[in-house]
Structure 1
């Protein structure tokens, strides 16, 4: 970091898109996973402010997460303040995700940058899946069964296509028209065939299954999966059957504490059926080569990169560095 820098650089989404693409983000996410494994990344569990997402008070159908982190390989700290809103935000035609990232010089405690966080959030979410596959899959080509057809489905395909050839993409979505649009949007990223299916079971016949839906009831059934399948339940609710989780040969996560208290594992952890002892490894362990996932060809593997602020902060740190080099963004002094 530049110790003399006292003001704050404001960086909007347009500038961020000019400075980093998915190939950049995949490498930044990989380096940050390595940092997790080596212990040089500090990432507390995210804190959630419920603004009515669960139907309680206040009635705004939204939530916000506070996600701080320190990135050792960049020597920066930061916080992402991110959430999702339906209700009035949706009626206003605004995207579901809203986010800002603040960067901190840890030497001086000065705020060096404030950035849009929505684009980085969407891109790094896809990159987490792609990098997990980098550590789990030993072949250059994979088939994907995609459940859901929104922004996160698109960025997952974009990120994976940067690291692998996609031999087949099978898309299921509760609304067929949205699935058809996704198929059209990503056709140039898929080297093989793309199929949109009406029966969710058909999408389960792929090497890798990715669920990015708001479903609160299981979509993917335990008896559908064949040995060798890797499944990423990325939604915030319950997209896969409990039986599938309980019979999995390996469970791999990015952040143990978060993964046990959010998403697919949450209520099984509350019941005492899935605990830290059931976690085979973290993605940081795999990235830093502290352990290996081994041969997964006969296993059912569940991988849950629930999402960490460290990824956002690391990407924002690289954006900040490049913006300074190119003279982009707007400097603002909050003190004077």
Structure 2
């Protein structure tokens, strides 16, 4: 009996510029929403994260991967954070997504991860806003004005009928980039203190690399939805841990939330337990009601899971292939 021969498939390469050309915020939203739902059903799971300070260039480097059985997406993202890159004209976050054929284990695609990382992170917070923020939210608060902040602002603005953006950044000279986007979207803009931001905002997105709380629990008004998007490493922190006691807490992945996400501090201090955190996918799937009242504070701990990267990279690779925009190679 002859062995069945499996034909070697070409590997498609989708560069950064092609990613920007082919995938939209709506594509990213749908992909991230679907994979969160699959995770909550047990149809998709993330592999343990490797993330290390490499002892060179102050860089953090690591790997995030996973397998989505429902979407048949398998792979990993390799990359990290180089804080000195902005001075070199590069983004601080650098990454590449590797996709594999789940039937054979063959490498099927190499996809630029820099643009997609910003896009999927913004999609994650916007999914949380769509499912958890009050419908009548009018003021969006932005904590952080780095590279990813404009992606966050554009994605959030599509989820609610916001009228104004209030923003704070440790370096105020970076706020004009947010102001330009807000004005482009027809939204009023105001640079404010952290306390004033809490007093005004109905929805708050934190997107920084902080290692200390930037927002205190007492500053957050009833009914606010907060998306904590910057904490993805042990030791990082953006908000007062006491806020976790006052809020209903949701996460992209609970295990990652309590280990390297914003919840790590509240759990370590005994303010909440692992069982107090709800996967946002449960709200997407309709097995959890989500926001219970107009006065409830909701908090989404967006740690950034590998399956998000794989989901958006898979969509980008598919669209680029359909449009004939990929480069193909064989190993």
Q: Do the aligned partners of 1:216 and 1:238 also contact (CA within 8 Å) in 2?
A: yes
Match runs of 1:219-234 below 5 Å: 219-234=214-229
The corresponding residue for 1:293 is: 290
Quote the Cα distance in structure 2 between the aligned partners of 1:40 and 1:115: 24
Determine the structure 2 residue equivalent to 1:208.
203
Which residue number corresponds to residue 3 of structure 2? none
Which secondary structure does the structure 2 equivalent of 1:130 belong to?
Answer: helix
- Confirm whether residue 132 of structure 1 aligns to residue 128 of structure 2: yes
Q: In the alignment, does 2:163 pair up with 1:164?
A: no
Residues 37 and 290 in structure 1, CA contact (< 8 A), matched pair in contact too: no
Of 3, 9, 12, the match for 2:15: 12
C-alpha contact (below 8 Å) 1:30/1:131 kept by paired residues: yes
Q: Is the CA contact (8 Å cut-off) linking 1:5 and 1:112 kept in structure 2?
A: no
Asked if 2 retains the 8 angstrom alpha-carbon contact of 1:33 and 1:288, the reply is no
- Once residues 45 and 255 of structure 1 are traced to their aligned partners in structure 2, the CA distance between those partners, rounded to angstroms, is 12
Hey, what's the Cα distance between the residues in 2 that align with 1:270 and 1:220?
A: 19
SS in 2 for 1:226: coil
Distance 2:323 2:201 in 1: 43
Deviations along 1:24-72, one digit per CA (max 9) or x if unpaired, are: 1111111112212222112123221221xxxxxx243011121111123
Q: Where does structure 1 lack aligned partners over 5 or more consecutive residues?
A: 52-57
2:241–2:271 contact (8 Å) kept in structure 1: no
TM-score (norm 2): 0.91
Unpaired runs of at least 5, structure 2: 1-5
Question: Which one of the candidate residues 314, 317, 321 is aligned to 1:317?
Answer: 314
CA–CA distance in structure 2, aligned partners of residues 137 and 268 of structure 1: 22
SS at match of 2:211: coil
> How many equivalent residue pairs?
321
Between the aligned partners of 1:172 and 1:216, the Cα distance in structure 2 is 16
- Write the distance in 2 (CA, Å) between the matches of 1:134 and 1:28: 14
C-alpha separation in 2, matches of 1:207 and 1:303 = 14
TM-score between the two structures when normalised by the length of structure 1: 0.90
